[in-house]
């Protein structure tokens, strides 16, 4: 059953006139008559008794009118709900994030968002960037906050925060009295590293390879928080993001050391699958996020390009 034909039938039934229905729908009368006739053919019944210029509903027409009005009301309600930013209890969305972003970058954003959308439930999948990217490709997450750079033909990214990877040692570590050390000295310690293949691990491996060095003892893990705790406990040393260790350095439980000839940065950014449509409520969260980090112009440029592509695809499908 074609909804356009059903809407045409509803208008004719309410106005009891094909001519007036055509005027209100901004269609020609033959188009209106054809739409009703097509609906009658699809249902296998007559919906109107026609007598000259006078029309009346058949028994089947009166039955369909009742359902057509309900369908029209539900369609109007659905359109209103979709285009309003009101959220009903039980509505939810899911996104992914590395733990550093959840802990240090978005708590205030989550608080502001929940104040505006108290009924929205949010599920956050905390994981390593490579797994977050896989969730995006499989459609399991709306977007992700992950370590950049990350390149994939089906994923779009936008850098939000740039962070320095610093070598830190515990306050009681023998190297704690130093301010600068050489990379050759670092590899003599137990080196706590991100898992091999992670974006934050890559610059460390590159510097070691360039210097022709290999660490003697290595511990690998994915959580910078766990790595920080182990360094504080004196288990080893680690290159960690500044946002992860700044409070510990201020509190005196960690000591930051300069490594001669070594400077490493990492970026945290927003990632989403290209062509992904964001509902108004989800886009409101992203707008808060982008505004917080000051990349509104870059965000609008990326989204406007995808919106234009979406509208073009929609126009072609309707044509």
DSSP result, 22-50: HHHHT--HHHHHHHHHHHHHHHTS--EEE
Q: Tell me, what's the pLDDT at 305?
A: 58
At 141, list the tokens: 């997450």
Comparing 52 with 226, the larger pLDDT belongs to 226
Q: Tell me, what's the pLDDT at 313?
A: 47
* Pairing of the two strands 155-170 and 92-97: unpaired
Burial level of 250, CB count in 10 A (0-12/13-18/19+)? exposed
Q: Tell me, what's the pLDDT at 18?
A: 93
- Is residue 82 a contact partner of residue 75, using CB atoms and an 8 Å limit? no
Q: Which of 72-81, 133-142, 193-202, 208-217 has the lowest mean pLDDT?
A: 72-81
* CATH ID of 3-83, from 2.40.50.100, 3.30.2140.20, 3.40.50.720, 1.10.10.10: 1.10.10.10
Q: If we measure between CA atoms, which residue out of 240, 254, 129, 236 comes closest to residue 190?
A: 236
**Using CA of residue 44, residue 50, residue 54, residue 57, what is the dihedral sign?**
negative
Query: To the nearest whole percent, how much of the chain has pLDDT over 70?
Result: 93
pLDDT in tens, 152-164: 999 999 999 998 9
Q: How confident is the model at residue 270 (pLDDT cuts 50, 70, 90)?
A: very high
Q: Tell me, what's the pLDDT at 91?
A: 84
pLDDT in tens, 300-319: 888 775 554 544 444 444 44
Residue 233, φ and ψ in degrees, nearest 5: -80, -5
Q: Tell me, what's the pLDDT at 317?
A: 45
- Topology (CATH) of 92-160+268-318: D-Maltodextrin-Binding Protein; domain 2 (3.40.190)
Q: Is the pLDDT of residue 9 over 50?
A: yes
Q: If we measure between CA atoms, which residue out of 156, 159, 158, 97 comes closest to residue 276?
A: 156
Separation CA 301–CA 308 (nearest Å): 11
Ordered alpha helix ranges (H), 84-128 = 99-100, 107-116
Query: To the nearest whole percent, how much of the chain has pLDDT over 90?
Result: 72
pLDDT in tens, 81-104: 766 666 667 789 999 999 899 999
User: What is the architecture of the domain spanning 165-265?
Assistant: 3-Layer(aba) Sandwich (3.40)
Q: Do domains 92-160+268-318 and 165-265 have the same CATH topology?
A: yes
Q: Tell me, what's the pLDDT at 86?
A: 65
Q: Tell me, what's the pLDDT at 307?
A: 54
At 266, list the tokens: 């990492």
Comparing 308 with 141, the larger pLDDT belongs to 141
Q: Quick one: average pLDDT of 207-224?
A: 92
Q: How confident is the model at residue 80 (pLDDT cuts 50, 70, 90)?
A: confident
Q: What dihedral do alpha carbons 29, 32, 38, 43 form, nearest 10°?
A: -130
- Is residue 225 a contact partner of residue 103, using CB atoms and an 8 Å limit? yes
- Domain positions in the chain are 3-83, 92-160+268-318, 165-265
Q: Is the pLDDT of residue 134 over 70?
A: yes
Q: Residue 219: in which H helix or E strand, if any?
A: strand 217-221
Q: Quick one: average pLDDT of 213-240?
A: 94
Quote the longest CA-to-CA distance of the chain.
103
């Amino acid at each position: 059953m074609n909804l356009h034909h059903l809407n045409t039938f509803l208008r004719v039934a309410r106005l009891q006139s094909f001519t007036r229905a055509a005027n209100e729908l901004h269609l020609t009368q033959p188009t209106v008559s054809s739409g009703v006739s097509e609906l009658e053919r699809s249902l296998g019944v007559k919906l109107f008794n026609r007598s000259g210029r006078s029309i009346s509903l058949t028994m089947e027409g009166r039955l369909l009118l009742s359902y057509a009005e309900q369908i029209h009301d539900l369609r109007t309600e659905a359109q209103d709900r979709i285009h309003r930013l009101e959220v009903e209890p039980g509505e939810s969305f899911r996104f992914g994030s590395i733990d550093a972003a959840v802990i240090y970058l978005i708590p205030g954003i989550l608080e502001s968002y929940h104040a505006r959308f108290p009924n929205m439930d949010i599920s956050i999948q905390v994981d390593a960037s490579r797994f977050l990217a896989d969730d995006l490709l499989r459609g399991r997450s709306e977007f992700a906050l992950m370590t950049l750079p990350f390149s994939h033909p089906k994923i779009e990214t936008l850098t939000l925060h740039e962070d320095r990877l610093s070598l830190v040692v515990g306050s009681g570590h023998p190297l704690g009295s130093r301010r600068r050390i050489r990379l050759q000295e670092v590899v003599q310690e137990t080196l706590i590293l991100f898992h091999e293949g992670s974006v934050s691990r890559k610059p460390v491996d590159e510097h070691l390879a360039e210097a022709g060095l290999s660490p003697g003892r290595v511990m690998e893990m994915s959580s910078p928080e766990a790595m920080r705790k182990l360094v504080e406990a004196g288990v080893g040393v680690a290159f960690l993001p500044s946002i992860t260790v700044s409070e510990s350095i201020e509190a005196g439980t960690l000591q930051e050391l300069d490594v001669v000839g070594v400077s490493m940065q990492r970026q945290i950014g927003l990632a989403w699958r290209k062509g992904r449509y964001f509902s108004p409520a989800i886009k409101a969260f992203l707008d808060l996020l982008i505004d917080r980090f000051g990349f509104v112009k870059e965000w609008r440029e990326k989204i406007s390009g995808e919106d234009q592509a979406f509208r073009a695809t929609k126009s072609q499908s309707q044509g």
